[in-house]
């Protein structure tokens, strides 16, 4: 399901710098075989599947209609190759930023969700409830939020009044958005999972700051 707040409204009499809107489109990578299998990827460098390549190509056509000024991607192949599909249409170069990588899931990386639930039932339940998971060297949600939100702000600062597409990952996008928007954990829990090759749109203006404009858009 896609939700959108509609087109922006510029109040009469505002100076240009206050009316100027910067857009970030956080684009989750196309599907991988591990996505289809229910396997935790984390920072393992998993390639797009054939279905994921097709998704990226189709959604790149749609995203090109948003007339991006900048494309930045996680350096993991599944995101970078997704971004490359858009670059091929727009002619823009793709910048790569390690800070946009997926959350590091420690020993769970490469395992099926069912295997994790069987081996670490208590920790798995905490994770699914959005709570901290101690003792397994899993990157904390707070650390993910900090590194991704700083990267996103850096991207926004490069295109004031423009549009940037950021190819990234599900958990990275969730926690990065939450930090920029200032949402507490209880509110972030209501944020639906970002589907493969869908995007979240954030907009910034000098009066209201960061705002959620659309989620699971395509």
Q: Is 115 exposed, middle or buried (0-12, 13-18, 19+ CB in 10 A)?
A: middle
The active-site residue out of 33, 65, 96, 102 is: 102
Helix (H/G/I), strand (E/B), else coil: 29: coil
Determine the Cα–Cα distance for residues 189 and 131; give it in Å rounded to an integer.
10
Helix (H/G/I), strand (E/B), else coil: 204: strand
Q: Which two tokens stand for residue 186?
A: 């209880």
Closest CA to 29 of 207, 165, 186: 165
Active site residue 102: yes
Q: Give how far the C-alpha of residue 35 lies from the chain's centroid of Cα atoms, to the nearest Å.
A: 15
Active site residue 17: no
The active-site residue out of 29, 169, 198, 215 is: 29
- Cα-atom radius of gyration of the chain, to the nearest Å? 17
Determine the Cα–Cα distance for residues 15 and 130; give it in Å rounded to an integer.
42
Q: Where in the sequence numbering do the catalytic residues fall?
A: 29, 102
């Amino acid at each position: 399901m896609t939700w959108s707040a509609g087109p922006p409204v510029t109040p009469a009499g505002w100076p240009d710098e206050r009316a100027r809107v910067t857009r970030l489109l956080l684009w989750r990578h196309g599907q991988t075989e591990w996505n289809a299998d229910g396997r935790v990827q984390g920072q393992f460098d998993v390639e797009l599947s054939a279905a994921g390549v097709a998704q990226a190509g189709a959604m790149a056509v749609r995203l090109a209609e948003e007339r991006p000024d900048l494309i930045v991607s996680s350096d993991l192949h599944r995101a970078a190759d997704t971004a490359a599909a858009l670059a091929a249409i727009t002619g823009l170069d793709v910048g790569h930023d390690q800070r946009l990588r997926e959350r590091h899931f420690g020993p769970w990386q490469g395992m099926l969700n069912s295997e994790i639930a069987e081996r670490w039932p208590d920790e798995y339940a905490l994770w699914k409830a959005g709570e901290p998971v101690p003792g397994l060297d899993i990157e904390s949600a707070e650390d993910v939020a900090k590194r991704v939100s700083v990267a996103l702000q850096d991207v926004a600062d490069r295109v004031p009044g423009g549009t940037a597409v950021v190819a990234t990952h599900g958990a990275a996008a969730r926690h990065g958005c939450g930090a920029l928007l200032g949402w507490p954990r209880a509110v972030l829990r209501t944020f639906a999972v970002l589907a493969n090759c869908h995007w979240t749109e954030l907009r910034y203006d000098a009066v209201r700051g960061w705002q959620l404009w659309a989620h699971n858009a395509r």
